[in-house]
Structures are given as C-alpha cells and as structure tokens.
Structure 1
Amino acid sequence: MEVVTVATDLNNAFLNRLLIPSCAALGFDLMILHVDKKEFRPRDKRLALVEYFKQHPSPTDLVIFTDAYDTLFIRAEKYVRETYARFSRSVVFSGELNNWPLGAIGFLIENGPPVRPFPYLNAGGFIGAVGDLLELCIKHPKPPSDRFRILRDLRIHDFDTDERYGFSDQYYWTLVHLLETETIAVDHHAELFECFSAQVPPTWDVQVTLDINEFRTRGREADSYHRERARLEERLRAPSGAAQLHFASPITKAVLLDLLDQGRLPAWLGAFDARDYPPPRVQRMTF
C-alpha cells in the first residue's frame, strides 16, 4: 500500500523525524511529491495529486494521502486494509472537531446533525483507490460552491467563500463530500485517522491568532505553548485506535517534537529512528 504526501520543504523536521520513520518502521511505501513552488497554497496539494494519479499505472491501487508536516502512522497496512473494508464508501476522509475553514457557515450546509465525536471532514488524511480519487477531482475541477444555495446567497452580499477559503484543500473536499455522499465517508470515530486538534469556536476567535503569534514571538516561554503542552500530554495518556495521527497547529507540532527530543513520547506512539531505514521515494512535481 502506497502512502502519498506533498511537500515543498524536504528538510522539515516533522516530516523527517516522525512521518518518514513511522512509515518505514511499519512497512509503508512512502512517496513524497516534491513541489518546488514559492507561492504554494494548501489547495495545490490536490493539483499535485491529480498529476501523480494521472500517471499512476493502476487505477485500482489503494493509496493513503497524508499531510507531510504534522502526521505520523502507528498501525500498518493489514490494520488499514481491514478497517477500510468495513466502511461502506470507497473513499474515506479523516474527521475532526472543527468545521474549518467555513466555521458556522459550514453548519448550514451539512447534511443533517453532526456525527460525533469527529463530525467534520479533515483533509489531512484520506484513503481510496487511485481511480476513484482522480475521478472526483476531474468531476469537480474547482470548489463546487455554486451547488449550495447558502453560498450563492452569501456571494450576492459580497461574501464570496471561494475568494475567502479557496486557498484551502479542506474547503474544496468539504463541499465535494457533501455532494458525493455515496462515494465519500468521514471517519467520525477515528478508526483510521485521528486529528488531535483542540476544539475552537465556530466563529473566528482572535485568541487563536494571538496564541500562535505569542508562540512565534516567545517560543517555549509562551503561555499558549504551556497550555497546549498540558492538553496534549493529557490526551496522549490514552492510546489512539487509529492508524494515522494528525497534529495540526504549529504549537501542537512543536510540543510533539519537544516530547520526542525529551524522550517523553508514550510507548504506544512507537519508535522513531530514521537511521535504520532507507529513504522514501521522492518525485518532483510541476504544474
């Protein structure tokens, strides 16, 4: 089974110290699509995947996409295949606590009440056959916002969600999922993917920005760092039942790398030693 990720920085610490070693230790074939683009945006991950899938030799091959700079794996292919087979849809996305980036607007376009504990799609991890994923991307070449009345109405009032959120591949996949519910499932119970992000208010909270800015200014002395460290250490006391773990947020990533440096990661997360494994495959992508 192939694990595919997209990266502009091949020297990223999380990629090299956590994602690459975890894939190697579990026997995953990791392919890094290297995009050498100065103004790379999250939505460009999809463009790289489309180009790669178009040249893939087998449309029936099962692949896992994972974010490059904030994810790792703790369970191997056998577990992934067996768990994936229990889903009734051919494509499965990670779930998360937050309807990001749409926030409260996203609640209005959801199909029914939230399925907890992870109600909303997270684009940092998904699995499906190459052909199915490529077909979805070709069918929806851009975010299908015109298919949602509330988003069309907002555009009339000069609130264009494509302009505001079009930078995000998660915005795109959220809309596609809501239109393709016969094909796409969300892993609401973290059986394959678990996102460790904290829950944030559904409307934009300036405190989120303040916390990140404080961390970037004060580093490990920032109160926001200590709060996130306490939260994450508490969460890591209990093992995850998923295969891929996602630590979105610059503060969360920094905490996890610090715990690694200090030898304080729990044993259930596994061992991370890149010296014992061959390097992953890397393919240069241009588009």
Structure 2
Amino acid sequence: MKVVTIASDLEHPFLTRLLMPSCEAVGLNLVVLHATKKSFRPRDKRAVLTDYLARSAAPDELVMFTDAYDTLFIRGEEYVRKTHAGLSHPVVFSAERNSWPMGHIGLAIQKDPPVRPYPYLNSGGFIGLAGDILALCAKYPEPPSEHFPLLRHLRTHDFDTDKVYGFSDQYYWTLVQLLEPDMVGLDNGAALFENFAPAVANFCELPRWTSDYRANGKQAASYRREHARLQARLQSPSGAAQIHFAASLTKAVVLDLLDEGQLPSWLVGVLRH
C-alpha cells in the first residue's frame, strides 16, 4: 500500500511539519509527486496521479491519495486496510459538510437524500486499487457533465459548469461518483477520512473569511472565530486515519496552534512518536 500526494512546493510547512512526519510516525509509505508546472491547478492532480499509477503501481496495489498542504495521518496501514475492506465500495472518497465547488447546483444534482454527518464528496482523500482508479479516469477523460440534465439545461443559458468549476478535480470526481454509485462511495461517517473544515450555508463565506484574515491577521473576527471553533473541535479525538483541515483559514489556524504548542495530545503524540 502507498499513500500518494502531489506537491508543487516541497517546502510547504504543512507538508514538511505535519503530513510527512505523521506518515513516518504511523508507518505509512508516503510518495510525494513533485508537480513542477508553474501554473499547476487542482484539476491537474488527476493527470499527475494517473501518470504515476500507470507507470509505478500494480493494478491490485492499494493506493490512498491525500492532499499535500492540509492533511495528516493518525493511524497506519493495518487500520486503513481493515477499514477499507469493511466498506461497501471499491473506491472510497473523503466527504465533507459543504457542497463544493458547485454550491446549490451541487445539491440539485444529488440523486439521494444527504447522508450525515458528511454528505458531499471531498477529493482531498480517497482510496482504492490502482487499477480501479485508472479505469475510472479512462472511462471519463473529461468531467461527464453531459450526463446531467440540469447541467445541460444551464449550458443552454450560457452557464457552462465545466468552464465555471472545471478548475477543480472535486467537480470532476463529484460527477463521476454520482454516475458510478456502485463503484465509488463516500466516507459519510468519517471511518477513514475526517474533514475538519467549518460547515457553511453559503460557500462564498469562506473566501470572505480568508480575505478578512489576510487584511487583519490574527485580529480578524473570522480568525478568532475559527481559532475558537477548531480548538473546541480538537478536544475530541478523531476515529479516522486521515485528518483534513480543508479551508485556508482552518489550515492557518492549525499551523499557528502547532507553533503555539496548543495542539491536543492525541495529535502531538503522533507527530512526536
């Protein structure tokens, strides 16, 4: 089994101070793929990953993908293998509370009622056999938006979701998962992946919070609110293997908590193992 991540900045503090040390501590084999492209975009992750899997992974090798700049691990391979084997889908994605990046459009194309507490796909963590992941990417070389009547209808009104949301691999994988419900599942209960980003009614709130933080630093109301929320949430240990702080402000708070020595013992214990 391999854990694979993609990074254009090999010196990023979250990668070097949290993700890499945590994988070493729990005995996970982390492969860091260096994406040198200056204009690297989130949607490019799929091309880099599939190229690596086609060249360097056997079809039956278990692969766990993780984002590079906002994740860490607290459990190792034995737990990951056992938990994955107990799930009902060959390929399983992390899930979150927010419908991103499509917002309300993403809600409208969901076929079933939301499964709480984490109803919506998050592409910052997923697991499956290399051959299964490659087969999905080969079947859907582009975002399969033409399969969704609502998205076709929006296109007739000059709202092309491929152009608006195509920057994100999460858009691509959300559509694929909805078309392949027997093959691709979501970790709605955070058995393997837990997303610690704040839940928001309107996803536009998060960029505003980030702008507030950039303008006002730690004195920003958004920073103080997120600092308090995250400290309270971290009092309860996670039962997952991967922890994902999937928002810019959340990630900044975690790095500050690390510097301030305020991360809880269940996280610090892994990092200092």
TM-score normalised according to structure 2 size: 0.97
Other-structure match for 2:248? 250
Q: State whether structure 2 residue 98 is matched by structure 1 residue 91.
A: no
3-state SS of paired residue (1:268): helix
Q: Residues of 1 paired with 2:11 and 2:239: CA distance?
A: 29
Is 1:160 the equivalent of 2:141?
no
Q: Secondary structure at the match of 1:113?
A: coil
The one-letter code sitting in structure 2 at the alignment partner of 1:133 is I
Deviations along 1:207-264, whole A, 9 cap, x unmatched? 4322111111222221111110000001001111100000011211111111111111
Query: Are 1:231 and 2:212 counterparts?
Result: no
For 1:272, the equivalent position in structure 2 comes to: 271
Counterpart in 1 of 2:60? 60
Q: Secondary structure in 2 aligned to 1:264?
A: coil
Residues in 1 aligned to 2:82 and 2:111: alpha-carbon distance in whole angstroms: 28
Counterpart of 2:218, as a letter, is R
Distance in 1 separating the partners of 2:57 and 2:73: 25
SS of 1:84's partner is helix
**Percent identical residues:** 58
Aligned residue runs from structure 1 range 1-287, under 5 A: 1-202=1-202, 204-205=203-204, 207-269=205-267, 270-272=269-271
Structure 1 stretches of at least 4 aligned residues deviating more than 2 Å after TM superposition = 207-210, 270-273
Q: Select between 172-181 and 220-229 the one with higher mean Cα deviation.
A: 220-229
Q: Within 2, Cα distance between the matches of 1:123 and 1:210?
A: 23
CA distance in 2, matches of 1:271, 1:74: 6
1:153-181 CA-to-partner distances (Å, cap 9, x unmatched) read 00000110000000000000000000011
**Helix, strand or coil: the match of 1:4?**
strand
Q: Is the 8 A contact 2:57 2:130 kept in 1?
A: no
1:184-221 Cα distance to aligned partner (Å, 9 max, x none): 0100000000001111124x53x432211111122222
| CA distance in structure 2 between the aligned counterparts of 1:97 and 1:271, rounded to whole angstroms | 26
Structure 2, unpaired ranges of 5+ = none
Q: What CA distance in whole angstroms lies between the structure 2 residues aligned with 1:28 and 1:158?
A: 46
Task: In structure 1, list runs of 5 or more residues that go unmatched.
Answer: 277-287
Amino acid at match of 1:267: S
Higher relative contact order at CA 8 Å, sep ≥6: structure 1 or structure 2? Answer: 1
Normalised by the length of structure 1, the TM-score is 0.92
How far apart are 1:57 and its partner, in Å?
4.1
Distance 1:208 1:66 in 2: 22
* CA distance in 1 between partners of 2:78 and 2:45 (Å): 27
SS of 2:3's equivalent in the other structure is strand
**Residue 144 of structure 2 contacts residue 176 of structure 2 at CA under 8 Å; is this kept in 1?**
yes
Q: Deviations over 1:129-165 (max 9, x none)?
A: 0000011001100000000000000000011000000
Superposed displacement of residue 51, structure 1: 0.5
C-alpha distance in structure 1 between counterparts of 2:242 and 2:206, whole Å: 25
